[in-house]
A and B are shown apart, each in its own frame.
Chain A
Amino acid sequence: GENVEQHPSTLSVQEGDSAVIKCTYSDSASNYFPWYKQELGKRPQLIIDIRSNVGEKKDQRIAVTLNKTAKHFSLHITETQPEDSAVYFCAARNTGNQFYFGTGTSLTVIP
């Protein structure tokens, strides 16, 4: 089955700085990679996703890059704000429609 690794597990940045979270996956057939933000006590919220036929996608301050050859993808948040503080999960979907999640990154943005 798919194995998704995520680093770092915790990340603290100053407000206005950038944050980068990295994930690797094992199943080369995985074809869809969403990123979720989860605040304490809330549901995971999709913030950005990327399909395997695309190398990069950007939505305002958030961007995701995918390297299919190396089987890794990354989340980039620029100009971080305190409200970006949350746990972020990457995920990979395989051809069997199963979603496998990374272990999560707890991001703290210090005002």
Chain B
Amino acid sequence: DTEVTQTPKHLVMGMTNKKSLKCEQHMGHRAMYWYKQKAKKPPELMFVYSYEKLSINESVPSRFSPECPNSSLLNLHLHALQPEDSALYLCASSPLTSGITDTQYFGPGTRLTVL
């Protein structure tokens, strides 16, 4: 399996809802990432997990809560979002090998709309 998968593909939620995005990979990668991408903009790093531990939080509001239950799974829990949080949320993974080689692969993304 050489793919990163994400569910759901699309999500519409109200500002008072609680929802979760899921990401899964079975490539044995030990680094997993969440990115937010607005239309016609580059992916913007949100969180990095290395060996199932949160290693980087790019000053993301607390209404986004990441979770890494095991080395294959990554969740993003959403609560009390704002309309401006509507975007494509991309998950990615990379091998996190020693040295300088570390190719990153992206999942297909979840298109989130906050009403």
* Chain B binds chain A: yes
Contacts of A106 in B (CB 8 A): 40
Binds A, one of B13-21, B60-68, B74-82, B99-107: B99-107
Interface size on B, residues (CB 8 A): 25
Contacts of A46 in B (CB 8 A): 103-105
Q: Give 1 or 0 for each of B1-45: 1 = CB within 8 Å of chain A CB.
A: 000000000000000000000000000000101000000111111
| Residue of A43, A96, A104 with highest tally of chain B CB at under 10 A | A43
Is B101 touching A43 in the complex (CB atoms < 8 A)?
A: no
With A101-B42, A104-B40 known to touch, is A43 a contact of B107 (CB < 8 Å)? Answer: yes
**Which residues on A are within 8 Å of B, measured CB to CB?**
31-32, 34, 36, 42-46, 49, 51-53, 87, 89, 93, 96-104, 106
